[in-house]
Amino acid sequence: MLMRLVRDSARRGHIVLNDTDHPKESCGVFGVYGPGEDVARLTFYGLYALQHRGQESAGIATSNGKDFSLHTG
């Protein structure tokens, strides 16, 4: 499923990391990309699923397409 989404995004001209570019540790990382979708809700569920890993190591980065905003806690 993920590789299909990556291929579909690549066809539309979006920059996509290939499947070999990933964290080398066993950390909980996820990303949400969905123009026109409720990404806030998807992000909430993703963070909820990772909450057992500890809040002190949590962070979120967002982008409006031009600038990035990062918050860690």
Give the catalytic positions in this structure: 27
Side chain identity at 47, as an amino acid letter?
L
**In the block, which residue shows the tokens 């990382």?**
29
Q: State the distance between the two ends of the chain, measured CA to CA, in whole angstroms.
A: 31
Whether 53 and 28 have beta carbons less than 8 Å apart is answered as yes
